[in-house]
Amino acid sequence: MKGAEAIVKSLEREGVKHIFGILGGAIMEVYDVLYDNENIRHILMRHEQCAAHAAEGYARASGKVGVCMATSGPGATNLVTGIADAHMDSVPLVAFTGQVPLHLVGNDAFQEADVIGITMPITKHNFQITDPDDIPNIIRAAFKIASTRRCGPVLVDLPKDIQQKKLKRRFQYPKDVDLPGYKVVKSGGHPQQLKEIAKALMNAEKPVILAGGGVILSNASKELLKLAESLKIPVTTTLMGKGCFPEDHPLAMGMAGMHGRKVANLMVTESDLLFAIGVRFSDRVTANVKYFAPHAKLIHVDIDPSEIGKNVDVDIPVVGDAKLVLQNLIKITDKLKAKKKTEWHEKLKKFKKEFSPIYDYDDVPIRPQRVMKELNKIIDNKTIITTEVGQCQMWAAHYLNIKNPRSFISSGGLGTMGFGFPAAIGAKVAKPDFKVIDVGSEGSFMMTGQDLATCVVEDIPVVVVLLDNRYLGMVKQWQDLFYGKRRSHTYLGEVPDFVKYAEAFSAKGIPVERPSEIGPTLIEAIKSDEPVVIDIRVDPDEHILPMVQPGGRLDRMIEIGSTE
């Protein structure tokens, strides 16, 4: 068996059903084996960055490891942005890259790049295979590392001669591999710490739960709901945690942070106990840490010990898997009686009524809030929303009510423009029975929009909803608010015509100019069962508010109509 055959056979043994990639000279041996393979569907993307983002979308929608593949040199370096995005957002991903033959490594050969060195800071681990007999063990290790403990990307570099050489030993794929220094220990928290948490939750008069992406990664949403309901504790989420708690629930406050909901930010600020689980306390969540939950006892549960105490000081730290910690905590709290929190719940009701988002705008140009209202109408239990990055992302995060985990997919830590569309492709491949909608903007969509060709050729019917204001919207918003409205190089111009752009790829393009057209157009696009770009011309001067000023305080937000 040649190395290339062993690679594909190893992927089969891992249960891989889909690969997103683009071939080239240094990985043609693997692709030649894929030619006859009937168990793995390879989806030919039009840019390697899109392959990585599609694999991310696949992983985040399915809970499985996403797989992408590229050739050496520029193919490998084009994957880097997607790998970095997966690293920041803890997405389980295995990226395979072709490489020049081993005897040419370091010689500046054609299409050679030190992808191991380049990706070392943005992967959990990376491998360069130097012996074809190591292929099964290394690929097993790559998937194990990517999908256990704190998830993340792993890169496997495949020199061309290793793909061509034959294995000396009989192919045998291991059930597990022993990795010195890497132990998978599923901890549910120390019993004494759990008792302390339970006591603190019971005695707190103004508790808040802050839930992050770790809740989704550990499939702990049911446990979170049970704990919150049993103790009647309000819940807010980070951007990555959006969907881990149903946002139509009476205890739900929506997202917290810079572009979070005012009710969430005020409740966090006034809380006397903050139970944070599966979060990393990003600057976008905390704002100025000096004023973040200033009166609260802080409990932090995370699977990664390096995150605890990194950004905020913590009173009760717990290293453990979110699901197991919550399960163990529920066993304790079920036996105890919580203090009534009547005043706190009344404040929650008051704030939710007073600061609820306003959707009902009939203005022309269209306001993005109205688009979110129409999207909310069609979101059900079989809908996945992905987002591009910028204003469109924050309109979606702030205004859309997401009820289920793995149904809101957005680039959090890296904030990668161009992410949403290829992520939607991956999500649709993972969940073909779901409707998948990318909430985008023309600035972000133009970075990866060429993969409309992938959607058409591979029959992947995703819907792209463009909030088209002809600006790099979030940068323009900052310029308006903090730079005296000096809009330096953020105007994109009146090209392209996105309807014609879609049609050039044999996709469907639909223009929307009036609020009354939004709902029917969304329904038409979804029912068409083909790739669709909906171009909605929105007000270029509308800002996504309220917003916390950079370096500011959560309880002091810039609001609609503010002159700050």
Domain extents in the chain:
3-164, 191-354, 368-558
Is 111 known to be catalytic? yes
Running DSSP on this structure, what letter comes out for residue 339? P
- What pLDDT score was predicted for residue 282? 97
Q: What are the strands of the beta sheet with 252-255, ordered from one edge?
A: 252-255, 235-237, 207-211, 273-277, 297-302, 316-319
The amino acid sitting at 475 is V
**Can you give the C-alpha Rg of the chain in angstroms?**
24
Sign of CA pseudo-dihedral 450, 455, 456, 461: negative
Give the three-class secondary structure for 210.
strand
- What pLDDT score was predicted for residue 337? 84
Q: What are the strands of the beta sheet with 18-21, ordered from one edge?
A: 41-44, 18-21, 66-70, 93-99, 153-159, 125-128
Using alpha carbons, list the distances in angstroms from residue 394 to 27, 142, 366, 547. 39, 34, 17, 10
Are the CB atoms for 126 and 156 separated by under 8 Å? yes
Catalytic residue among 5, 48, 388, 542: 48
Is 110 known to be catalytic? yes
What's the pTM value of the predicted model, to 2 decimals?
Answer: 0.98
Joined together, the tokens standing for residue 63 give: 């809970």
- Relative to beta strand 207-211, strand 235-237 is parallel
Are the CB atoms for 423 and 53 separated by under 8 Å? yes
- What pLDDT score was predicted for residue 562? 60
In tens digits, what is the pLDDT along the chain, a chain of 564 residues? 999 999 999 999 999 999 999 999 999 999 999 999 999 999 999 999 999 999 999 999 999 999 999 999 999 999 999 999 999 999 999 999 999 999 999 999 999 999 999 999 999 999 999 999 999 999 999 999 999 999 999 999 999 999 999 999 999 999 999 999 999 988 999 999 999 999 999 999 999 999 999 999 999 999 999 999 999 999 999 999 999 999 999 999 999 999 999 999 999 999 999 999 999 999 999 999 999 999 999 999 999 999 999 999 999 999 999 999 999 999 999 998 888 889 999 999 999 999 999 999 999 999 999 999 999 999 999 999 999 999 999 999 999 999 999 999 999 999 999 999 999 999 999 999 999 999 999 999 999 999 999 999 999 999 999 999 999 999 999 999 999 999 999 999 999 999 999 999 999 999 999 999 999 999 999 999 999 999 999 999 999 999 999 999 999 999 976 644
Distance, in Å, from the CA atom of 311 to the CA atom of 274, rounded to the nearest integer, reads 15
- What pLDDT score was predicted for residue 338? 80
- What pLDDT score was predicted for residue 341? 84
Q: CATH second-level architecture of 191-354?
A: 3-Layer(aba) Sandwich (3.40)
- What pLDDT score was predicted for residue 564? 47
Catalytic residue among 240, 446, 447, 474: 474
Is 160 known to be catalytic? yes
- The superfamily in CATH containing domain 3-164 is Thiamin diphosphate (ThDP)-binding fold, Pyr/PP domains (3.40.50.970)
* 3-164 and 191-354 agree in CATH topology: yes
Cα dihedral: 64, 70, 76, 81 (round 10): -40
Is 530 known to be catalytic? no
Q: What is the full DSSP assignment across 134-171?
A: GHHHHHHHHHHHHHSSS--EEEEEEEHHHHHSBPSSPP
- What pLDDT score was predicted for residue 563? 46
- The superfamily in CATH containing domain 368-558 is Thiamin diphosphate (ThDP)-binding fold, Pyr/PP domains (3.40.50.970)
Catalytic residue among 160, 165, 242, 431: 160
Catalytic residue among 111, 327, 450, 549: 111
Are the CB atoms for 42 and 27 separated by under 8 Å? no
Distance, in Å, from the CA atom of 53 to the CA atom of 414, rounded to the nearest integer, reads 12
Running DSSP on this structure, what letter comes out for residue 54? H
Q: What residues are paired with 157 via a beta bridge?
A: 97, 128
